[in-house]
């Protein structure tokens, strides 16, 4: 049997897309059958099952087909990106496959690019709203989302944009577990830890080369994703924007932004505000590429989708779309001026004086359960 299914390949209540077969190719459940309990799914996975269509394919083709089958046309962008994170975790945190690794990462990059092209505001909101167990894996997907959106804004070719996104999805592959562990460390980094961090871009390139990644844009972007134009970055300390590939520089900015807005122990929204200010400041000091920094701020706006804001009216709400200017997003009111929770959010155009944004609001101050897909106008998948 070429490709065994995992628990996440089967869903209670969803018709099977193909015949389910055992290791001898014997059909256990016909296409269209519905499994009615998780216990039955667990039993089947334990036995080792696959879809019949995979039996006729080469292992690489079956793996690609299996990965592509996770994404359906009727899925909302939040669910698509959630599945991308789960699949990236599965590809990069288990034994990395010696064949087909690059193709699987390319499939995930293409799915992210399509999602960002169709629903950029929802994709950007997922940076703030989606929660996942592994910080390190979600961080790479978050950076890939930003690369997709900024790359599209800069009219970078689709081929180069996908290569840069593949780099974002694999930039820290040599230290994913270590990164999760560092994330919860309260004390300052030790010399040994800094050594591991400083060598991770080149170690990642070595690992990628070992699993037959040959794309020079992908590899160069990973190698330079911590270099700064003023020479203060690592591992090589290369100076000058002209000496650094654009992908590495976009990732450098996106990496810094997402690292600081990620849900950690501190206040997310206050931190996001500081991050935008930091990016402007660092761009001016040449520690980041200034032109890209400006483009980044222009693209996200001062109140990126997913931010919680207060308006002149006294209402609080969530940014669902970027507006015509950087500080005039479209907001859905969640809390009235008197503190009442709205059953149905009300759309506010903050370019109108009485609904102008006055400040960002910490997520904890907006005590409302959110249904992100419906807020962005999607049905639950």
Least distance (Å) from Fe ion to the CB of residue 88? 15
Of 315, 214, 296, residue with least CA distance to 252: 296
**Residue placing its CB nearer to Fe ion in the complex, 85 or 171:** 171
The three-state DSSP-derived secondary structure of 327-338 is: CCCEEEEEECCC
Whether residue 117 contacts residue 177, with contact meaning beta carbons closer than 8 Å, is answered with: no
Least distance (Å) from Fe ion to the CB of residue 141? 14
Least distance (Å) from Fe ion to the CB of residue 172? 5
151 Cβ contact list (under 8 Å, min separation 6): 160, 161, 164, 165, 250
**Residue placing its CB nearer to Fe ion in the complex, 172 or 328:** 172
Q: Which residue is nearest to Fe ion (CB)?
A: 172
Q: Residue numbers of the site for Fe ion (CB under 5 A)?
A: 171-172
Whether residue 180 contacts residue 135, with contact meaning beta carbons closer than 8 Å, is answered with: yes
The two tokens of residue 369 are 């359960």
**Residue placing its CB nearer to Fe ion in the complex, 136 or 319:** 136
Cα–Cα dist 270/318, whole Å: 15
**Residue placing its CB nearer to Fe ion in the complex, 166 or 375:** 166
Beta bridge partners of 126: none
Whether residue 79 contacts residue 11, with contact meaning beta carbons closer than 8 Å, is answered with: no
**Residue placing its CB nearer to Fe ion in the complex, 48 or 181:** 181
Least distance (Å) from Fe ion to the CB of residue 179? 8
Least distance (Å) from Fe ion to the CB of residue 225? 6
**Residue placing its CB nearer to Fe ion in the complex, 226 or 348:** 226
**Residue placing its CB nearer to Fe ion in the complex, 86 or 203:** 203
Least distance (Å) from Fe ion to the CB of residue 99? 26
Cα–Cα dist 300/294, whole Å: 10
Whether residue 172 contacts residue 200, with contact meaning beta carbons closer than 8 Å, is answered with: yes
Whether residue 164 contacts residue 156, with contact meaning beta carbons closer than 8 Å, is answered with: yes
Cα–Cα dist 67/104, whole Å: 7
At 347 the three-state DSSP class reads strand
- Give me the DSSP letters along 289-302: -HHHHHHHHHHH-S
Least distance (Å) from Fe ion to the CB of residue 201? 6
């Amino acid at each position: 049997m070429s490709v065994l299914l995992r628990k996440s390949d089967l869903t209670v209540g969803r018709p099977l897309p193909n015949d389910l077969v055992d290791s001898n190719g014997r059909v256990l459940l016909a296409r269209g059958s519905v499994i009615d309990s998780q216990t039955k799914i667990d039993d089947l996975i334990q036995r080792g099952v696959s879809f019949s269509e995979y039996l006729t394919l080469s292992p690489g083709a079956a793996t690609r087909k299996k990965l592509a089958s996770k994404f359906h046309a009727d899925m909302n962008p939040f669910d698509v990106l959630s599945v991308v994170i789960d699949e990236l975790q599965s590809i990069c945190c288990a034994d990395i496959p010696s064949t087909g690794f690059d193709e699987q990462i390319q499939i995930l990059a293409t799915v992210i690019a399509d999602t960002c092209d169709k629903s950029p505001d929802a994709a950007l909101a997922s940076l703030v709203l989606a929660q996942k167990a592994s910080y390190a894996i979600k961080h790479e997907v978050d950076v890939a989302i930003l690369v997709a959106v900024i790359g599209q804004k800069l009219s970078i070719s689709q081929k180069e944009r996908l290569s840069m996104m593949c780099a974002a999805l694999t930039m820290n592959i040599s230290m994913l577990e270590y990164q999760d562990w560092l994330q919860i460390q309260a004390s300052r980094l030790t010399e040994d830890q800094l050594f591991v961090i400083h060598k991770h871009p080149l170690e990642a390139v070595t690992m990628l080369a070992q699993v037959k990644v040959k794309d020079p844009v992908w590899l160069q972007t990973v190698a330079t994703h911590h270099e700064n134009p003023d020479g203060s970055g690592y591992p090589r300390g290369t100076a000058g924007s002209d000496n650094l590939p654009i992908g590495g520089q976009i990732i450098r900015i996106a990496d810094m932004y997402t690292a600081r807005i990620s849900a950690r122990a501190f206040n997310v929204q206050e931190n996001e505000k500081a991050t935008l200010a930091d990016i402007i400041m660092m761009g001016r000091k040449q520690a980041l590429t200034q032109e890209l920094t400006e483009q980044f701020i222009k693209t996200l706006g001062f109140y990126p989708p997913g931010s919680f804001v207060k308006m002149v009216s006294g209402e609080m709400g969530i940014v669902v779309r970027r507006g015509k200017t950087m500080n005039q997003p479209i907001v859905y009111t969640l809390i009235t001026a008197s503190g009442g929770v709205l059953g149905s959010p009300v759309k506010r155009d903050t370019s109108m004086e009485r609904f102008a944004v006055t400040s960002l609001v910490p997520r904890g101050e907006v005590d409302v359960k959110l249904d992100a897909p419906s807020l962005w106008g999607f049905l639950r998948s």
